[in-house]
Chains A and B, each alone.
Chain A
């Protein structure tokens, strides 16, 4: 198990490094030099060259990369070309927004999805068909479309929730929850449908296992077979599905943040990509990767822990 964890940690580290290189190369391929981006249109060539020289733009790529990496390891991701603010500080203030969004949506998707999936698998018949129909529709409707409809229903028609904006938890926990409600529900619709399908399939597969017959042959009550034994057997693929879903939702938050005007990482990517703000793009790609890889690692270890075969070895 210790070896397994070490291996996974090394792989996670490698993943982040690969992405860091990739991000570095991508921002270097962006049109316009940092000086030109930073000073905007109308700046003299001398001024642009001066900024580029100061940022080390013409140094060899390797030197630049390791310079950036050295800073990044110490938590310094450089400064924005647009407003000169520290990228690390900016992202640090944005991360909680996206994290609460993605975590909230993942938890809601998991709870709803497992409930729906188990219901469909266990009840069968009409309930199964209804859940199947809802899930089919939910994965076909784009999140942004669903989000707008929610805004229309819950913010315009009846002002249950605020339509846009984000209130930090420190300011008011209640308003924080209210401001997260619509974006979280919006993201969770598709996520819950995905997990419901995964759960249904895994439950049905679990119920096809021969040991279910042994349990029935020893008069195990139906609820125990379903919710202790079958669900336990199905939990491995379900947790794996939830991990995948978190990755998807973390990326999907770009759309929710745009739709609900939330100051998260997604908004940062979108802005910095539009303005060719290289250090910001680079920083946000790496931070997003670190978060996703870390959560993925934890959930993967959880799945391994759920499986007696892997736990023992």
Chain B
């Protein structure tokens, strides 16, 4: 196993930094929203000083006029200046909508923090109450309230806020609960910080951004509802202008003066748009995970990229002769569209009936390499160069349509988390038989028979019952067997297994591995096994390619690599693996590899492992080629490989290199 790397020092950000204002100004719509809102607030607050007319000034020479030099936005049926009335009404509209925001978002947040802090029972009660509030016809209730209290706009907007708080609570609860269950909150509790203290100091700051987002959205809702009420006659008392009332007035003249609708409607719509734009700009998820099915637009781009790749590939000479069930990856690179490369110049071969292990820490590009074999890279990531020769055909330059003929039938996939790999909405039987019918072109009855025999083949005893279950009704180990059966449904020649045992219990891991081993023996298919577990490699792999930071750093026969590793990274992985060290010579302390795998954008030009290597020297700063290691067909990417082999050096179990220890001590003293 790879040692888990010490986390980077936790940076405590203050609430202000967490409220990411830069995101607001980075979005053009958000920026425009802020400018419009600021302008309209400034204009309405200063209205008494600059408005050309009083709100009640009537100009009977210009009744229902369009825009003129005197009346920039025209006049209404009494010759009153629209511009003046719109801005005279603005302050009241914005101010009272703010009441809804303060009451609604405030109450919703407090309820959410209360529910998160006070335990399950309180949460259940609050959730029930808010559910009831959300299933009420809000508009009708607000009208009944108006019946009781009259058109007291501030009070009505406050009551609207109470109704809306139920929705805010729903939005906030999940986040408040996750903040409340953070380890540092537990630590604070142990330290005796009061519940209130925890809520205010640890939970509230984390909610800041959501609060701002919701405030902006509720502000817009408040304005719309308020205008709607004024429109049906429950606005501020006449003759006081309001936006809804003005639109109501305009609606009476839609036959003779349709222009009247435009200015007030536009100002109201723009103000609502501005508030929504601010909310959306701040609320955008910063790192939404990528889609597993690219959109049509993305697929069109991909076709273009693929044809470029195909042209490049024909120029390069393909040295591998077409063979049956032979995979040959040559100089493959995978990159983010318009971003850094995640995998560079990766080459390996998989002969029919053999198992290749791709080994390395997380973030080394193993999974990306494996997924590129099926053309199933997440959207936004694509093969950027090199060749994936499957029986002589270059899959790196294949279109999605061509890949569809290969996926499942020739190359199949099993993934890390079997529970998430199966569709939760359909039964195991449906998923399995529809794959069999599609991939083997059989009828319904045959497919069902085949499904049963496949399930038995992967070691499921009560196959009949399993066919009827949904994925959530079976265990993880069982689900992985089903996933393997699904992968076998098209009788593939190559199986790509992305950490197939990582998410499983240790006993189940062994069963799944032995299943895979017997499948390889029985069917003669080959396997590309992605793993970070050297135990798995020793168990099942014929060949190994050790990957570090997007490169293959060492490859060769498993026995050779495990017995006499040549690359310092392989050496380090073995030294750090509790299973690789037999009980007799188990060291007192397992070695670790200090630091972390560098991010793709930080890869140096020279050896990418140099920064963490105990043997690094000045020679490591220049690019290192992959050279024959001397043992059979083994390859290694290290300038010091021969030197290390001669001297028989070992990766030492020092926890942190001395120079780093010194640095940390200095920091603590300062």
Interface residues in chain A, defined as those with a beta carbon under 8 Å from any beta carbon in chain B: 11, 14-15, 18-19, 22-23, 26-27, 29-31, 121-128, 136-137, 139-145, 148-149, 151-152, 156, 204, 207-222, 225-226, 229-230, 232-233, 244, 247-248, 250-252, 254-255, 258-259, 265-266, 269-270, 272-274, 276, 281, 284-285, 288-289, 291-293, 296, 308-309, 312
Which of these, B228, B276, B425, B439, contacts A140 with CB under 8 Å? B276
Which residues of chain A are near B420, meaning CB under 8 Å?
209-211
Task: Report the separation of the CA atoms of residues A251 and B289 in the bound assembly, to the nearest whole angstrom.
Answer: 37
B408 within 8 A of A: yes
A219-B490, A289-B136, A291-B137 known, 18 other contacts, Cβ within 8 Å: A18-B132, A22-B141, A125-B296, A136-B276, A142-B224, A144-B228, A151-B251, A151-B254, A152-B258, A207-B292, A208-B290, A208-B291, A211-B423, A217-B407, A218-B439, A220-B438, A273-B147, A312-B473
Contact B150 A31 (CB under 8 A): yes
State whether A251 touches B137 (Cβ < 8 A): yes
- Scoring B residues 388 to 421 as 1 if CB is less than 8 Å from chain A, else 0, what string do you get? 0000000000000000110111001101010011
B185 on the A face (CB < 8 A)? no
**Nearest neighbor of B296 in chain A, beta-carbon distance:** A123
Q: Which residues on B sit within 8 Å (CB–CB) of A136?
A: 273, 276-277, 280
Residues B270-315 near A (CB distance < 8 A)? 270, 272-273, 276-277, 280, 288-298
Distance in Å: Cβ of B226 to nearest Cβ of chain A = 10
Q: What 5 A-B pairs come out closest when comparing CB atoms?
A: A124-B295, A125-B297, A251-B139, A217-B413, A273-B147
Chain B residues lying within 8 Å of A126, measured Cβ to Cβ, are 297
- Asked if A219 and B408 make an inter-chain contact with CB atoms under 8 angstroms apart, the answer reads yes
The reply to whether B265 and A141 contact each other, CB–CB distance below 8 Å, is yes
Q: Which residue of A lies closest to B150 (CB)?
A: A31
Which residue from chain A places its CB closest to the CB of B438 in the assembled complex? Answer: A219
State how many residues of chain B have any CB contact under 8 Å with chain A: 86
Q: Which of A214, A221, A274, A288 has the most CB of B within 10 A?
A: A214
A to B CB contacts below 8 Å, 11 in the list: A18-B132, A19-B141, A29-B149, A123-B295, A126-B297, A148-B261, A152-B261, A219-B405, A247-B138, A251-B138, A273-B144
In the bound complex, how far is the Cα of B425 from the Cα of A151, in angstroms? 45
The docked-state distance in angstroms from the alpha carbon of A252 to that of B149 is 21
A126–B297 alpha-carbon span in the complex (Å): 8
Q: A259-B251, A293-B135, A308-B425 are in contact. Are A212 and B293 (CB under 8 A)?
A: yes
A137–B274 Cα distance when bound, in Å, is 11
Is B140 touching A269 in the complex (CB atoms < 8 A)? yes
CB of B439 within 8 A of CB of A210, answer: no
A234: shortest Cβ distance to chain B, in Å?
10
Of all chain B residues, the one with the shortest Cβ separation from A267 is: B232
Q: Which of B78-86, B343-351, B481-489 contacts A (4 or more CB under 8 A)?
A: B481-489
Residue B231 interfacial (CB < 8 Å):
yes
Once the chains bind, are B143 and A233 in contact (CB under 8 Å)?
no
A251 and B405 alpha carbons, distance in the complex (Å): 53
B143 near A218: Cβ-Cβ < 8 Å:
no
Choose one: A22, A137, A156, A293; the contact of B255 (CB below 8 Å). A156
In angstroms, how far is the closest chain A Cβ from the Cβ of B89? 14
Let me know if A122 and B295 touch, CB within 8 A: yes
Using Cβ atoms and an 8 Å threshold, which residues of chain B touch A226? 293
Cβ 8 A contact of B143, one of A221, A270, A292: A270
CA distance A126 to B301 in the complex (A): 13
Query: Nearest Cβ distance between residue B496 and chain A, in whole angstroms?
Result: 8
Report the Cα distance A124→B255, complex, angstroms: 41
Q: Is B48 engaged at the interface, CB distance under 8 Å to the other chain?
A: no
Report Cα–Cα, A211/B273, bound state, in Å. Answer: 37
What mask results when residues 110 to 146 of chain B are scored 1 for a CB within 8 Å of chain A, else 0?
0000000000000000001001101111111101111
A213 CA to B376 CA in the complex, in Å? 7
Determine if B250 and A148 form an interchain contact, defined as CB atoms under 8 angstroms apart.
yes
The 8 A CB mask of B221-241 against A (1 = contact, 0 = none) is 000100110011110000000
**Interface status of B541 (Cβ within 8 A of chain A):** no
CB contact under 8 A between A149 and B261, given known A211-B424, A219-B405, A247-B138: yes
Shortest A177–chain B CB gap in Å is 24
Which B residues are CB-close (under 8 A) to A11? 128, 131-132
Bound together, the chains give a CA A258 to CA B408 distance in angstroms of: 60
Partner of A285, one of B141, B288, B298, B470: B141
A148 in contact with B254 (CB, 8 Å): yes
**Do A148 and B147 form a contact, CB below 8 Å, given A11-B128, A233-B423, A292-B135?**
no
Which A residues are in CB contact (< 8 Å) with B176?
A: none
CB neighbours (8 Å) of B465 from chain A are none
Q: What CA separation (Å) do A292 and B137 show in the bound complex?
A: 7
Partner of A218, one of B220, B258, B435: B435
- Measured between beta carbons, the chain A residues less than 8 angstroms from B138 are 247-248, 251
Are B421 and A213 touching (Cβ within 8 A)?
Answer: yes
Interface of B, secondary structure class, is helix
Q: Are A229 and B144 in contact (CB under 8 A)?
A: no
Contact of A145 among B247, B376, B470 (CB under 8 A): B247
Query: Chain B contacts of A281 at CB under 8 A?
Result: 144, 147
For the complex, what is the distance from the CA of A265 to the CA of B244, rounded to whole Å?
A: 21
Whether B135 pairs with A247 at a CB distance below 8 angstroms is yes
Asked if A309 contacts B470 (CB within 8 A), the reply is yes
Give B426-448 interface residues, CB cut-off 8 Å to A: 426, 434-435, 438-439
Q: Would you call B321 an interface residue if the criterion is a C-beta within 8 Å of the partner chain's C-beta atoms? A: no
Q: Determine if A233 and B486 form an interchain contact, defined as CB atoms under 8 angstroms apart.
A: no
Give the residue name and chain of the A residue nearest to B407 (CB): A219
Shortest Cβ distance from A296 into chain B, in angstroms? 5
In angstroms, Cα B265 to Cα A144, docked, is 10
In the complex with contacts A123-B297, A204-B291, A215-B423, A26-B145 CB distance below 8 A: yes
For the complex formed, measure the closest distance between the CB of B638 and the CB atoms of chain A, giving whole angstroms: 35
Instruction: Knowing A29-B149, A142-B228 are in contact, say whether A218-B438 is a contact too (CB < 8 A).
Output: yes
* B639 sits at the interface (CB 8 A): no
> How far does the alpha carbon of A219 sit from the alpha carbon of B265 in the complex, in Å?
51
Residue in chain A with minimal CB distance to B436: A218
CB-CB < 8 A to B473: which residues of A? 312
Cα A166 to Cα B449 in complex, Å, equals 60
The residues of A that contact B149 with a CB separation of less than 8 Å are: 29
Least distance between A53 CB and chain B CB atoms (Å)? 23
Which of B231, B255, B265, B421 contacts A211 (CB under 8 A)? B421
C-alpha spacing A265/B293, complex, angstroms: 47
Q: A148-B247, A216-B376, A273-B144 are in contact. Are A208 and B486 (CB under 8 A)?
A: no
Chain A: minimal CB distance from B398 (Å): 13
Residue in A151, A216, A270 with the greatest tally of chain B CB atoms within 10 Å: A216
Q: Are B137 and A289 touching (Cβ within 8 A)? A: yes
Closest Cβ–Cβ distance, residue B526 to chain A (whole Å) = 16
For A259, the chain B residues whose CB sits under 8 A away are 251
List B contacts of A221 (CB < 8 A): 404
- A156 and B257 CA atoms in complex are apart in Å by 12
Contacts of A250 in B (CB 8 A): 137, 139-140
The CA-CA distance from A265 to B141 in the complex, in Å, is 13
Instruction: Give B404's nearest chain A residue, CB to CB.
Output: A219
Chain B residues contacting A156 (CB-CB under 8 Å) are 254-255
Pick the contact of B295 from A128, A152, A233, A272 — CB < 8 Å?
Answer: A128
B452 vs chain A, min Cβ distance (A):
18
Complex partner residue of B232 from A209, A210, A258, CB under 8 angstroms? A258
B268 at the interface (CB under 8 A from A): yes
Given contacts A125-B297, A207-B293, contact A213 B415 (CB under 8 A): yes
By the criterion CB–CB under 8 Å, are A214 and B265 in contact?
no
Q: CB-CB < 8 A to B232: which residues of A?
A: 254-255, 258, 270
* B412 contacts A217, C-beta separation under 8 Å: yes
Contact B292 A218 (CB under 8 A): no
Report if A142-B291 is in contact (Cβ < 8 Å); known contacts: A124-B298, A125-B296, A308-B425.
Answer: no
| Chain A residues with CB under 8 A of B258 | 152
A272: chain B residues within 8 A (beta carbon):
147
State whether A208 touches B247 (Cβ < 8 A).
no
Residues of B contacting A252 with CB < 8 Å? Answer: 139
Do B291 and A254 touch across chains, with their CB atoms under 8 A apart?
no
Is the CB of B54 closer than 8 A to any CB of chain A? no
Instruction: Say yes or no: B144 contacts A269, CB within 8 Å.
Output: yes
